Each structure stands twice: as structure tokens, then as C-alpha cells.
Chains A and B, each alone.
Chain A
Amino acid sequence: MKKLFLSAGLIVGMASGANAATCSNPVQITWSTIAGFYTDAMANFVKDFEVKNCAKVTVVNIDNSQLYNKQVIEMVGQTGAYDVVTLETAEKAEFAQNGFIKPMTQFFKDKQGLVNDVAPILRGMTVEYKGDIWGLPYYTYTAGMFVRQDLLDDAGEKQAFKAKYGYDLGQPQTWEQHRDIAKFFTRKTGEKLKGEPLKKDFFGVGLMAGPFPEIQDELSAPLWGMGSDWLTKNGKVPVDDVEKVLGQYVELLKYAPKAALTVTYDGVMNQMKDGQIAMTHGFFLDQWPNAVKTEEMVPGAKMSAIEAPGKRAYVGGFLLAVSSSSANPEMAMKFVAHIGGKDIQRQFAELGGASTLTSVLSDPYFSSPAMRSKTGQYATLNKVFQSMNGFSSNLFKTPFGAKIYNSMQIPLQAAAAGQISVRQAAERLAADVEKICGGPCPIAD
């Protein structure tokens, strides 16, 4: 036994070589974030920053589903363990309102150019709260939709679709068309798709109805599209509107793989790449580099990233903000500006990251054919931002947004799974939200 542990110790000893700091007494900062290719890519960007500023940046990877509570615990405990935190859109108001993060309005005073470069809708939703600026978003997972363009373009399918529905098959412009297309392409093994017999069941749409918050990201698209919101001006859930979109969504589940009730976005991407589905619902456009792999894995497939029907979809961005308990807030703020800044965002885009800056998104280089596998969705993303300009959701203006966001999937998913009726789910959501806010939710202007 002793030998075993000794040799294990040796291997470990060899593997963990500490990298020496480049300057004599570097300022330590820690950034808590989600694992992913971009955090790995960040390693290089962090190095630049360390050299330039005599800093040592530690990146802590946390599972997406745990990031919120882990960060809140450290904020409540005022441990100062995380200098820079990563916040989901719905969490900004809570962190700002409760004093977990520092306003950066003053810091950005002489960097207005950078703040103004952030896509305006993202700026409104992720950066500003009660007149202050709280950091910079550095990654956006704003939603559009992915479709198998080859299916929509197939002459045979077009003909059959027109005969059945009386209008031309194409990219869906309304949620009704989306449903028709989903229904049209749902086929059993042995039936034909593009004239070829299917080796496995094929479905019209992939949905994220699993036990994850993404189900409400999907539902945000039709809900916002019909001019409604998760919370009214009075801070209440509009039960009838939620019932309506949820009802349509449950209808759509008939045309989705059974796995819809257990998966989130990665599951839908896997279904797409495995040639099981024709399109998504409202879906995170940052997944483009993943989605486009379908073209390699499914013969004849061609992917398109388009705007969601109704031109409304979830606006998501990871806000980088500085913790109030940070021991080195100046350095942390510099780091936020560095990662959210134009240089890094450009390099980030080169690697396939979804940038938040208008100047990067609208750069023709990133929409060129050469960059298609990395940033082929940029043009669409830019369009989504433009279509949604001026839009705002009350979900992001209440300090209870994070808690609501983290609980609302329960009734929604219960209805999707058939455990309760759509009406019950909408009513339950309203009751849950009222419980969380202790009455109508306060909405900031």
C-alpha cells in the first residue's frame, strides 16, 4: 500500500509545476467563471494582462448550474475569494441591489467609447441597473434559431409542404409556421426524408424542456414576441399569457425527441449533430461552432442561424463584475475592461467566441466565408440585437430576478412533462413568484 501511495505522490508531484510570476510582487485576483473553450482560450489573454499590470490572475471554473449559488455564498460570506464574478442576465439586479458588486460608473467615465461599443440591448439588459454601470459582458448567448437549411431548400420537401399547408416552405417567420414545419418533418424510421428512407426516427424540433432554466429561455421568445413579459409593470406574472405560450410549447413537444424532457442545450446540439432534428426552438446563437459541425457529421446537411420568429428571443450575456469584498478592486476593474475590451474581444472572436461588441460583430471579416465555422452566426446575432433594440424585460429589473429565474423551470417543466396542466403551471408560477418576492415584485425603472 505504501508503495502505491508513494508512486501516486510522485506522479502528482511531477504534474503540478507552479508557474513563476513574471514580476516581483504581483497583485492577486481571482475570476470565477464557467468552464468552456473560451475560459481555456482566456489563458493566453490573461497572460498578457498579467505581464502588463504585474498581476496574477487565477481562473476558477464552476459548473454552470452551480455558479450562481457558489458566488452568492462567497458574496454573503464576504470572503473576498472571488474578485471578478460572472453573472447571468437575470442575476445582475440582485447582485447590484444587495451590494455584492461594485458600481463601475466612475471607472468607465473616461472609457465611454468601450461602454458604447457594447451592443445597446446587451448594455441595457446586462450592464445598467438604476442608472449605474456594473461591469462589462464578455460573452453573449443571445438566442436566435438554428435550422437545417438543406431540408428547407429541398425541392421535393418544398412541394410536399406547399401541398399540405398551402404556403411555401422556408425559414419560419411566425410561431405557427414553426409549428407546421416541426410537424411536417416529424417522421418515423423507414419514411423518407429528402427522398431517402430514414434509418432512425426524425423529429421536427429539438426542445430544452429538461430540469434546467433553459426552458424559460425558450419560452421567453414567444412570450416576448406576443408583447408580454414574465412580469408585468406591477410585478406580477401575467397568468393568461404564460398559459398561452406554454400551451403552444407543450403542443410542440409532440414533434420533439422524447429526450426533450431531460436535456438542455447540449442535448439539443447532440441531437442536431446526430441528424435527429430539423431545427431548434429559440436557441443560443453562441452554439454556432457546435451546431455547424452537423455539416461534417450528417451527409448533405447545411446549417443556418436565423432570427427567431417574431424577432424576440432571450437576451443573454455573462456580465463580468467586481465583487464588493475584493481586496484589489482597481486591478479587478482593469481586468474587466481588459477582457471586455476590443482587443481581447477580437481575439476571442477569432477562436469562435460570441463577442458582445458591435464593432466586432459588424466587422465583415467575421462574416466572411473563411470564418464561417467560427463566427458564421455574427450577422444574424447583429440582426437580433438590432431587432430587439429598445426592448427590455422586467425580469432583469427586479432584484428577485435571479431567484425567480432559478425556480421558474419547475412549474414550466411540470407542465411540459404532463404532471400538471398548463393552466395550473401558469398559476403556480405566479404563486411561486409572489412567494419569492413576498408580494408583487419590485421593478426598478
Chain B
Amino acid sequence: MLNQKHSFAFEVLRYGLIVLVVSFFFFPIFWMLLTSFKPETAIMVSPPQFLFTPTLENYRHALVDKNFLFYIKNTLIISIISTAIVVAIGSLAAYSFARFNVGDGHILFFLLSTKMMPAIAVILPYFLIFRDVGKTTVGATLHLGLDQHGALIVSYVMFNLPFAIWLLVSFFQDIPRELEHSARLDGLSRLQVLRKVTFPLAAPSIAVTAVFTLIFCWNEFLFAYILTRKMASTVTVGVESFFTLQGILWGPVAAAATISVAPMLLFVLAMQRYMVRGLTFGAVRG
């Protein structure tokens, strides 16, 4: 049905529409990319300039003058560790919900409902908690204080867990139990079953969960802005140092934004082959 042959005119229309759709979604990024190579005098001019002498000055400003890689480094550390923790404890919990139905849906509901909390409402309590935790020895060792990586990691874990568990529960339900049973009969312990049978089978789904968690951590602003000052600031906060008293430095902002999108793009492309399989959230059942 959906794949049947259509008339030539129909196909022309389809590809015309696809080109239109892709240009709509790609154009703002393209314009950002273009701006990142524009000299200062070609940015705030009317009418907008399409032809100009490209320059790397904006990248130099972002990378050398503003040391933007420092923020990229922080963001990498925080996002990757948060994602790893979310995926690890999220998978365990999701597996438990999927297989054992712990709490008969009530605990799951509780976990999911924490996603409803507006971040802005809890940001000050978080600030106070991390201020005090950071002063304790444990907190200091784990870098849980304000302007330290640990504080943001914990916050991101908290705010991404519900989403991750949500996705993963249905994934795990798609894995036939019989495989686990036979592995058990072969003498593997529960944890061995998880490690050797269940998780490898769930890899595409876990990859999808990781991609989304990483994207959300990478792009988060509010927590990063309140809980860090300088040493642990992420890219979204780092961009603020381009908002100067002389106005927004559009060229360097474009360069910095391009630089900070790049790792995400590479990551998504690397995960691409898992994405298609994993993206259905297991919710379509054949």
C-alpha cells in the first residue's frame, strides 16, 4: 500500500515537498553557519548579505580569545557522565518495571510524574542543597558543590531519568522472556542474564535513550546557569560571555554555536544506524 508505485507527477510533488521541508528545517542552521564566516561589517546590514569575503576571525575570537573549548570540555564531561549514569540506573529500573512490574505501575507513575516539575521552581532549593553538600567531605570529594561538575551531573541525572525510564520500559517489554529463561536454565545468574542476554538485545533502544539524554544534557541552560559560575560552566552558559556591553557579538556567537553543535551531530550520525530500530520506543508491536 504505502510503497506501491505512484505516478510520476506524484513523485515530483513528493520530492518537491521534501526539499521544501528540509530547507525549512535546515535554513536557520545554514544561516548560522554562514554568519560564522562573515566579517563583522557584513552581519548587521540591510538587506542581508549572501555574498561576502569569508573570514575565520569569528572562530579565532571564540577559540582563542574566549577559550570556548573550555566550555566544550566541561559540557563533554558533564553530559557524558550524566548520560552514562542515566542509562545505567535507568536501564536497571526500567528492566525491573518491565519484567517484575514492581509497584504495579504506581512507582512508575511517581517516577514519570517528576518530569512534570517546572525546573524553575526547584532551582533555588537545588542551589541551596549543593551549596551545603559541597561543604561536606563527601560532597567535596565527589565535586558536588556549586560550580563543580558533580552538581550539574546529579541534576541532569535527576531530570533525565523519568524520560529514560519511560522509553526503556517499553523497549524491555519487547524482548522475549523465553531467551532469558533459557539462559537461566543454562545456569547463568540473574545479573549475568542481564549483562549477556538482555542488555545486548536492547542495545539499539539504549542507544536511542543515550542520544536523547545526551542532547538534552548538552543543551540545558537553566541549571547550568544557576549552579555554575565559571569552572564548570557549559556551552550554553559560555555563549553568554559573547553578550557584551557593546552588544551581542553575532559572528563569534555563530562560530561558538557551530562548534558546539558539531560534537552532537557527529554523535547522532554515529548512532544513526541504531536510531531507526530504536526510535519506535517498542510501542509498535508486530
Contacts and interface: CB of A to CB of B under 8 A. Distances in A.
**Direct interface between A and B, CB < 8 A:** yes
Interface of A: 1, 4-5, 8-9, 11-12, 15-16, 30, 32, 34-40, 58, 60-66, 70, 73-74, 77, 79, 81-82, 141, 200, 265-267, 269-270, 273-274, 276, 286-287, 289-290, 297
Interface stretch (B6-14, B89-97, B176-184, B244-252): B244-252
Given A1-B267, A66-B225, A36 B245 contact: yes
25 contacts: A4-B267, A5-B76, A5-B80, A9-B73, A12-B73, A15-B67, A35-B245, A37-B244, A37-B245, A39-B244, A62-B240, A64-B243, A65-B243, A66-B240, A73-B124, A77-B128, A200-B46, A265-B247, A269-B247, A273-B44, A274-B45, A274-B46, A290-B246, A290-B247, A297-B41
Interface string B139-156: 000000011000000000
Most buried by B among A1, A39, A62: A62
Nearest to A65: B243
B65 A40 contact: yes
Nearest to A264: B247
A81 B231 CA distance: 12
Interface in B238-275: 240-248, 263, 266-267, 270
Interface of B: 41, 44-47, 63, 65, 67, 69-70, 72-73, 76, 80, 124, 127-128, 131, 146-147, 225-226, 229-230, 240-248, 263, 266-267, 270
A36 B244 contact: yes
Contacts of B240: 35, 61-63, 66
B215 to A, nearest CB: 15
A60 B229 contact: yes
Q: Determine chain B's interface SS by DSSP, over half rule.
A: helix
Contacts of B270: 1, 4
B73 to A, nearest CB: 4
A267 B263 CA distance: 32
Contacts of B73: 8-9, 12, 16
B44 A270 contact: yes
Contacts of A270: 44, 247
Most buried by A among B63, B147, B243: B243
Contact of A64 (B72, B245, B266): B245
